[in-house]
């Protein structure tokens, strides 16, 4: 080894890999044709931008030595065989879809890092006692249809059937959106993986919060992912003429929604430590200047690392909203659309990941709970999961200002290689014991 080489250097003549390339690939996916919008990133599930992204990322996967396919839910899956064919797989994944006006790293960075790890294994001609599969999930954000994590739920086999009635904001059903991309709603659940074929799921992701930056850690190990509820709240008032309807006779659905939102904010502010509640979308009918609003629908997202705190907040909000509706003579319904329980990461894998962090950074691993949702919380139903967080600037995410440094992502890459190689040793030792 020369003084410039590290254990992670590519052999002479081999293709390159590493954190810098992972970042620049995310950057190149941040613009058209990989975005539906000019000048901003928006990559919803089953869009043309998603199709282009799958095409581009599958080429990168193949170049890294993987075979590729799209599963029945449209997820992109690359496979790097282990030392023996048909060995069970370690899955490394995250999502390729995005929110509207997104940053470039939320999701794709975890997929790109998986590809870099495989490129490293390929360049060093290493085959592990298990296969490595890299998955780019199609729907994590729920930015097109009303619920999130549809496609990891299909893989983990926790979606009993793909919802037939679900429509996007343009009125296109999931069935038609799948059909337009060559998939069948009836086949959606065929994306399910068999537990015996999957040994673990690993996800690398930007932290999307400020903890690592404020404590000067490049990376951290996730111990658990917060519980989430997603509700749809409908308020039915009475539409009327804005010039003639006296104030005291109105049943204004939007004024009721405004009071409801202030109540939600105040309940969340008074709640225990990590409780958060967000109204992120509001649709007003008819939504014109000279009509008293007759109907409003809005979303409510409630999260906490502790399920009982989230549940208690949901009940308090339900009671407060019912009182507001009664006082204002409007009808209000609160429909639960999604319930994701708090998800602990596997403690043995998280310890092994922490050891790898210590080895690469020289610091004891910062362990933290994720307030953001991740495919890992669904994949936990299929296999033990663990997650690596990467510092992001000022904790900004779901925003075009999202930023990471190539140095931090290189550290994440080296941690992943170290973790996977040590996991391979543990796995082999365990297999020998069983034999
Ligand atoms: C996804 O980013 C979520 O946490 O909702
Ligand atoms: Mn996100
Ligand atoms: Mn994400």
Tell me how far the alpha carbon of residue 3 lies from the centroid of ligand 2, in angstroms: 40
Tell me how far the alpha carbon of residue 152 lies from the centroid of ligand 3, in angstroms: 12
Beta strand 76-80 pairing with 67-70 = antiparallel
C-alpha to C-alpha distances, 165 to 72, 106, 168, 403, 414, nearest whole angstrom: 19, 29, 10, 37, 45
The residue whose CB lies within 8 Å of the most ligand 1 atoms, and thus the one to mutate among 101, 107, 140, is 140
* 180: nearest Cα among 371, 301, 305, 46: 46
Q: Could you report the per-residue pLDDT of 203-229, keeping only the tens digit for each?
A: 999 999 999 999 999 999 999 999 999
The number of the ligand 1 atom at minimal distance from the alpha carbon of 99 is: 2
**Which ligand is closest to the CA of 301, given by its number?**
1
CA atoms within 13 A on the CB side of 184: 3
Say which DSSP state 365 is in: P
Say which DSSP state 188 is in: G
The angle at the Cα of 402, spanning 399 to 404, to the nearest 5 degrees, equals 170
141 CB within 6 A, ligand 1: yes
The residue whose CB lies within 8 Å of the most ligand 1 atoms, and thus the one to mutate among 148, 208, 389, is 148
The number of the ligand 1 atom at minimal distance from the alpha carbon of 303 is: 4
Tell me how far the alpha carbon of residue 152 lies from the centroid of ligand 1, in angstroms: 14
- The kind and range of the H/E element at 276 are strand 276-278
4 — pLDDT class (breaks 50, 70, 90):
low
User: Residues 361-378: what's their mean pLDDT?
Assistant: 96
Q: Could you report the per-residue pLDDT of 400-412, keeping only the tens digit for each?
A: 999 999 999 999 9
CA 431 to CA 128: how far, in whole Å? 13
Tell me how far the alpha carbon of residue 395 lies from the centroid of ligand 3, in angstroms: 13
Tell me how far the alpha carbon of residue 231 lies from the centroid of ligand 1, in angstroms: 14
88 — pLDDT class (breaks 50, 70, 90):
very high
Say which DSSP state 214 is in: H
Question: Which residue's CA is minimally distant from atom 5 of ligand 1?
Answer: 373
Q: How many CB atoms lie within 10 A of CB 302?
A: 24
**Helix, strand, coil: what percent of the chain each, to 5?**
40, 20, 40
* 324: nearest Cα among 23, 303, 231, 316: 316
Q: Could you report the per-residue pLDDT of 225-248, keeping only the tens digit for each?
A: 999 999 999 999 999 999 999 999
162 CB within 6 A, ligand 1: no
Residues in CB range of 315: below 8 A, 6 or more apart: none
pLDDT for residue 1 is more than 70? no
pLDDT for residue 174 is more than 80? yes
Whether omega before 33 lies within 30 degrees of 0, making that bond cis, reads yes
Q: What is the pLDDT of residue 164?
A: 82
The alpha-carbon radius of gyration of the chain (Å, integer) is: 23
CA 317 to CA 260: how far, in whole Å? 9
408 CB within 6 A, ligand 1: no
* 413: nearest Cα among 69, 6, 137: 6
Tell me how far the alpha carbon of residue 145 lies from the centroid of ligand 1, in angstroms: 14
- Among 121-135, 149-163, 369-383, the range scoring the smallest mean pLDDT is 149-163
């Amino acid at each position: 080894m020369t003084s410039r080489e590290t254990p992670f250097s590519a052999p002479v003549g081999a293709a390159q890999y590493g954190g810098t390339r992972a970042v620049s690939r995310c950057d190149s996916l941040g613009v058209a044709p990989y975005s539906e919008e000019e000048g901003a990133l928006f990559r919803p599930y089953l869009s043309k931008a998603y199709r282009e992204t799958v095409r581009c990322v599958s080429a990168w996967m193949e170049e890294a030595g993987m075979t590729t396919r799209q599963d029945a839910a449209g997820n992109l899956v690359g496979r790097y065989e282990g030392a023996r064919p048909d060995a069970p797989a370690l899955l490394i994944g995250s999502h390729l879809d995005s929110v509207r006006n997104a940053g470039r790293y939320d999701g794709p960075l975890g997929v790109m890092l998986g590809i870099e790890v495989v490129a490293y294994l390929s360049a060093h001609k290493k085959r592990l006692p298990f296969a490595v599969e890299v998955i780019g999930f199609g729907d994590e954000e729920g930015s097109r249809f009303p619920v999130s994590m549809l496609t990891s739920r299909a893989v983990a086999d926790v979606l009993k059937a793909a919802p037939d009635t679900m429509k996007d904001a343009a009125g296109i059903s999931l069935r038609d959106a799948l059909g337009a991309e060559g998939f069948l709603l009836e086949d959606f659940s065929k994306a399910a993986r068999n537990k015996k074929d999957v040994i673990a799921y690993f996800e690398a992701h930007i932290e999307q919060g400020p903890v690592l930056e404020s404590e000067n850690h490049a990376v951290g190990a996730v111990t658990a992912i917060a519980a989430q509820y997603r509700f749809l709240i409908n308020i039915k008032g009475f539409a009327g003429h804005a010039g003639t309807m006296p104030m005291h006779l109105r049943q204004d659905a939007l004024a009721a929604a405004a009071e409801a939102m202030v109540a939600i904010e105040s309940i969340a502010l008074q709640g225990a430590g990590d409780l958060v509640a967000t109204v992120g979308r509001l649709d007003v009918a008819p939504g014109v200047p000279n009509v008293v609003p007759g109907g409003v629908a809005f979303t409510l997202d409630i999260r906490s690392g502790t399920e009982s705190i989230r549940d208690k907040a949901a009940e308090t909000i339900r009671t407060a909203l019912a009182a507001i509706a009664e006082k204002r003579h409007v009808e209000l319904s609160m429909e639960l659309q999604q319930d994701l329980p708090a998800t602990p990461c596997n403690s043995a894998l998280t310890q092994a990941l922490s050891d790898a962090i210590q080895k690469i950074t020289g610091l004891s691993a910062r362990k933290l709970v994720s307030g953001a949702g991740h495919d890992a919380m669904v994949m936990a139903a299929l296999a033990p999961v663990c997650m690596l967080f990467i510092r992001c600037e000022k904790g900004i995410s779901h925003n075009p200002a999202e930023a990471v440094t190539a140095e931090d992502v290189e550290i994440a890459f080296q941690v992943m290689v170290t973790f996977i190689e040590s996991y391979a040793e543990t796995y082999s030792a365990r297999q020998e014991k069983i034999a």
